[in-house]
Amino acid sequence: MLDTEALPGLSRAARVAALDRWLAGLLHDAVAGTPVPPAHRGSPGAGPGTDGLALVAVGSLGRRELPPYGDLDLVLVHEDRPEIAAIADALWYPVWDAGLRLDHSVRSVPEAVTVASTDPRAGLGLLDARLIAGDADLATRLRTATLASWRQSASRLLPELRDLRRERGRRLGELAFLLEPDLKDAYGGLREGQVLRAAAAAQLADEPTAEAERAYAFLLDVRDELRRRSGRPSDLLVRQEQSGVAAALGLADEDQLLREVSLAGRRLAFVADETWRRVEAALVRRPRGRHRRVRREPLAEGVVRQGDEVVLARDARPADDPGLLLRAAAAAARAGLLLSPYTLKVLAVHGPPMPEPWPAEARWSFLRVLASGRAAVPVLEQLDQQGLLSRLLPEWNRVRSLPQRHPWHRYTVDRHLIEAAAAASELTRDVDRPDLLLVASLLHDIGKGWPGDHSVAGEPIAAAIGARMGFAEPDVAVLGTLVRHHLLLPATATRRDIDDPATIERVAATIGSDASVLQLLHALAQADGAATSTSAWSPWKAHLVAALVARVQARIGGTQLADAEPVLHPTRAQVTAPAPDIPGVTRAVTVGIAEVADGQQVTIGAPDRPGLLSTCAGVLALNQLDVRAAKLTVADGYGTGVFAVHPRFGRAPVPEILADGVRAALEGTLSLSDRLRQREADYREETRGAPPRISWHNHEVSGRATGIVEVRAGDRAGLLYRLTAAIAGEGLDVTSARIETLGGDAVDCFYVANPSGSPVDLRQRERVDAALVAATRGGVMPAGPDTPG
C-alpha cells in the first residue's frame, strides 16, 4: 500500500523508487485480475503474463525528477493484447483512488511513433520513456523507435518546439529577471534543460554542459522545496515562500535564493540560446557539393567574421595580446554578431590579465562595445557567462544577478547596468563626453553590492574603475560625481518645487559650475530611467527633469570638460618620408609618423587646395587606418594635418606609402572614391541607425572661416573622407577641423569658408546639411577625378 501523505517528504530518488514499486504491483494485479477473452485464449502473447505489455513512465517520472504533488505521466504500451482496455481500467483506477494526479495513454509502438513524429511536446516526453514493469524488450523497441522518429522529424519538430518556448518566454518572462519566477516554464527554467537534451537526442547539438546540468539540478531542488512547503503543485516561486525555501536549502536569505535562481536561469537561457543558434544553422539547407568555402572576413586585428560568428584570425596570439578580448568583443558588437563559443573559451583560458591602467587601445575597444547599443547586450552576456567580464571588472561580482525588489525594476542590478549603457548609446550625440556617459551608465548602480547608500558607496568604486581603465584624473573625478549624483535630477524634479530658486541653488551647488556635468547627469538620468521601466521614466517625469535642467543651466552658465583622449602632439618626434617635388606644385608633400599611446600620429603637409583634408583622410582610410582625432591648420598657403590613427589590422603605417598616396591623389592619378568604394564592398561594416546631428555655430567664428559645422554620427571607416568630400562638394573650403571619436560616435567640427569670403547663407547650409546626412549613411562618393578630396 502506498503512503501518499509521506511522498512529499521523501527525497526525489526515494519518492520515485516508492512509486515504481507501487505501480509495478498495480500492473501485476491488473494483469492477473483481467481474464483473456475466449476468442483469444491461446493466441501468441496472450495470458496472465506481461508479454507484449509494458508500463512506461515518461515526463518527470521518466527522468526520475518527479516533484512533490507532481503528475504521473504513464504510457501503457501493448502488442496483441485484446484485453488491454480492461487492464488499463484496472491500472488507472487505483491511481485515481489514491488521490494522485495522472496523465495516461494506451499505445502500440507504431501509435507512439506517430504521436512522437507529429507533436513536439508529446515527442519530448517520450524521449524520457523508462520501463517501470512489464516487457523490457517492448519498452526498448519503444525507446528505439521514438528516438529514431525524433531524429527523422527534427527539422520540423525542433523549430516548433523553439517557437513554443519563445512564446511561453514572452508571456511568462525570463526566469533570471523575475521577482516571482515560474521555475518550470519561464525562459531559462526547467523546460530549457529538457529542450537541451532533446536537441542533443536529435544529434544537432552537444549534450548539456556540466554547468547547465548543475543549474538544472538546483532549480529541481528549489521546486521540490517550494512544493513541499506550499503543499500544492505550483511552480511559481512566490515571495511568501522564498524565505522558507532559502532556509531549507541552506541559503542566507530570500535575496540569496533569488540570486542563485537568477544565476541558474541565466546559465540555462544562455546555453539554450547558443543551442538554438547551432540547431538553426544545422537545419539550413546546404548547397550541394563536397566542399564549401566559408568566407572569413577581417574585422579587426586578430579578429575575423566566419559565417555568422566572430572568431580569432589564424595569426592571432591571445596569450600575448591583452587587448584581443575587448577588440574581439567590439568587433562582434559593432557587426551585430556573437563570438563563437570556442573563441570565448580560448580567450578565457589563454588571455593574459589586463595591464593596469588599461592600454588606451583596450579602453577604446571597451567604449566601442558599450556604444554599440542593443547589439552589445548579448556580447556582454557572453563575456559574463564565460567569467571574462568579472575578470575585467572584479567589482562586477558584487552586482551579478543581484535582485532588485522594487517593482519598477525589470532586471537584476547587473543586467540593469548593461541595459542603461545600451540606452545611453542613443544619447551620446547629446553630450560633449559620450565616453564618460557610457562608462557612468554602466557603473551608476555599482554600489548596490555594498552596504549603505549605493550612490555614496558607488562613487569611490566607479572612480577606482575609471582610474584602472586609464582615464585622466579629471575624468575619473567626473565619473565619481556622476555615480554619486545620478539620482539628483529625477529625485529633485519629482519631490521639490523646481520653480523655487532655493531648489535650483541646491542643485547648482551640488553639481558646481560645470555645465557639461549637468549635461551628462541629464543623459544618465534618461538612460537609467529607460533601463528601469516605463513607470520609472514617464513622459511627465522626463518633462520635469528637462525643465529642472534648463533652470539649473541658466543659473550656472556653461564651461567645458577637458578634451578626451587621444590628445594630438604636433611636436612629437617623427619618422619622415622623403618629399620629392611634384611637377607644377611649388611645395612638396611630407608625411611624418610618430609613435603615441594607442597607435601612431601621422602628420601630413601639403600645398593648400580645396578638399585637402578630404584627400588626406581618404588616403588614411585606404590604408586601413582609423582616424581617432585630427586637426588641420593652414598657414601661408600650406596645410598641415595632424592625425591620431590606429591600424585596423595591426599594420603600422608606412610614411613613404602614405606620401605616395597623397601625391597621387593630388595629381589626380589615384581615384580615392573608386578605391574606397571597393574597400567598403570588401569589408562590410554595420552602422548605427540613429540619425546624425548637424549643427552650425557661426557666432563662434573668427579669422577666415565664415561658419562652423559640427557633425555627430556613428563612426565608420572612411567617414572623415565622406564628410569632408561632402563639404567640398558644396563649394566650401575647410580651413580648420577638430575631429574626435568617442565610443562609437564621431564628433567632428569643421571650420568652413566660402572662397569668395561671403557668409554661408541659409540655402547653402541646407545643401551642406543634406550632403552630410547622406555621407553619414554611406551615400554615393564623388565619382571621377577626386577634385573635392
Question: What would the pLDDT profile of 17-37 be if each residue is shown by its tens digit?
Answer: 999 999 999 999 999 888 766
Query: How many C-beta atoms lie closer than 10 Å to residue 101's C-beta?
Result: 12
Please, which pLDDT band fits residue 565 given cuts at 50, 70 and 90?
low
Q: What's the pLDDT score for residue 708?
A: 85
Q: What's the pLDDT score for residue 43?
A: 41
> Which pairing describes strands 130-134 and 53-57: parallel, antiparallel, or unpaired?
antiparallel
Question: What would the pLDDT profile of 720-761 be if each residue is shown by its tens digit?
Answer: 888 988 998 898 888 777 777 766 778 888 888 888 888 888
Q: How large is the average pLDDT for residues 292-298?
A: 76
Spell out the residues 6+ positions from residue 289 whose beta carbon is closer than 8 angstroms to its own. Answer: none
Greater confidence, 350 or 607? Answer: 350
DSSP per-residue letters across 348-416: HHHPPPPPSSPPHHHHHHHHHHHTTGGGHHHHHHHHHHTTHHHHH-TTHHHHTT----STT--S-HHHH
Q: How large is the average pLDDT for residues 460-477?
A: 97
Cβ–Cβ < 8 Å for 79, 139: no
CATH H superfamily, domain 156-283 = Nucleotidyltransferases  domain 2 (1.20.120.330)
Q: How large is the average pLDDT for residues 369-394?
A: 96
Q: How large is the average pLDDT for residues 102-125?
A: 90
Q: Which residue has the cell 556604444?
A: 371
Question: In this model, does residue 444 exceed pLDDT 90?
Answer: yes
Please, which pLDDT band fits residue 287 given cuts at 50, 70 and 90?
very low
Please state, in angstroms and as integers, the Cα–Cα distance from residue 782 to each residue in 547, 725, 786, following that order.
44, 7, 7
Question: What would the pLDDT profile of 519-532 be if each residue is shown by its tens digit?
Answer: 999 999 999 999 98
Query: How many C-beta atoms lie closer than 10 Å to residue 597's C-beta?
Result: 14
**What's this model's pTM, rounded to 2 decimal places?**
0.82
Q: What's the pLDDT score for residue 699?
A: 57
Question: In this model, does residue 788 exceed pLDDT 60?
Answer: no
Q: Which helix (H) or strand (E) holds 168?
A: helix 154-172
Q: Which residue has the cell 540593469?
A: 416
Q: How large is the average pLDDT for residues 633-657?
A: 85
Q: How large is the average pLDDT for residues 436-440?
A: 97
Closest C-alpha to 624, from 648, 604, 642: 648
Q: What is the DSSP letter of 182?
A: B
Question: In this model, does residue 434 exceed pLDDT 90?
Answer: yes
Averaged pLDDT score across all residues of the chain: 87
Question: In this model, does residue 47 exceed pLDDT 70?
Answer: no
Amino acid at site 722: R
Q: What's the pLDDT score for residue 320?
A: 95
Q: How large is the average pLDDT for residues 383-394?
A: 96
Share of the chain above pLDDT 90, in %: 58
**Domain locations along the chain:** 7-152, 156-283, 298-392, 415-565, 575-776
Q: Which residue has the cell 521518466?
A: 62
Q: What's the pLDDT score for residue 786?
A: 45
Cβ–Cβ < 8 Å for 73, 130: no
Q: Do domains 156-283 and 415-565 have the same CATH topology?
A: no
541's grid cell: 517625469
Q: What are residue 231's phi and psi, to 5 degrees?
A: 70, 25
Question: In this model, does residue 197 exceed pLDDT 50?
Answer: yes
CATH class entry, domain 7-152: alpha beta
Upstream peptide bond of 566 is cis (omega within 30 degrees of 0): yes
Cβ–Cβ < 8 Å for 498, 542: no
Calculate Rg over the CA atoms of the chain: 34
Please, which pLDDT band fits residue 41 given cuts at 50, 70 and 90?
very low
d(CA 643, CA 591): 11
d(CA 389, CA 516): 30
Q: What's the pLDDT score for residue 573?
A: 58
List the beta bridge partners of residue 647: 625
> Which pairing describes strands 625-635 and 599-607: parallel, antiparallel, or unpaired?
unpaired
432's grid cell: 560633449
Question: In this model, does residue 780 exceed pLDDT 50?
Answer: no
Q: How large is the average pLDDT for residues 610-629?
A: 87
d(CA 147, CA 138): 14
CATH class entry, domain 415-565: mainly alpha
Share of the chain above pLDDT 70, in %: 89
Greater confidence, 324 or 170? Answer: 324
